[in-house]
Each structure stands twice: as structure tokens, then as C-alpha cells.
């Protein structure tokens, strides 16, 4: 999802979703959103097909 799509899904303004994504990237050492998705699948918060 794009930052704008994430914002719409969570009822936030796009700037807030960008901030949240940037903080997650920094804290988890991921380079982009795709890396965050892979990490979510590997660690369990997201299951295939959801």
C-alpha cells in the first residue's frame, strides 16, 4: 500500500502515516515497505491470505 492508502485505511492524514512508516523503517532496520512486509510475514503479525 502507498502511504496515502495506509492513511485512508487507518483514518489518518498522509503525513502521519509517512511518519509512522519512517519510524518503523528506522526501528526495524528495514530499507523500504517491501522489507517491512517480509518482516511481518516472517515474525508472525501477518499471515498469508489476510
> For 25-45, what is each residue's pLDDT tens digit?
999 999 999 999 899 888 888
Calpha distance 2→30 (Å, rounded): 16
Average pLDDT, the chain: 90
For 41, the grid coordinates are 510475514
Residue 49 per-residue DSSP state = T
Considering the entire predicted model, what is its pTM? 0.74
Question: Is 5 exposed, middle or buried (CB count within 10 Å of its CB: 0-12, 13-18, 19+)?
Answer: exposed
Q: pLDDT band for position 50 (50/70/90)?
A: low
Q: How many residues comprise the chain?
A: 50
Amino acid at each position: 500500500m502507498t502511504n496515502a492508502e495506509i492513511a485512508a485505511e487507518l483514518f489518518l492524514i498522509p503525513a502521519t502515516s509517512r511518519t509512522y512508516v519512517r519510524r518503523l523503517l528506522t526501528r526495524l532496520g528495514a530499507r523500504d515497505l517491501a522489507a517491512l512486509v517480509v518482516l511481518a510475514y516472517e515474525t508472525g503479525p501477518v499471515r498469508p491470505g489476510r
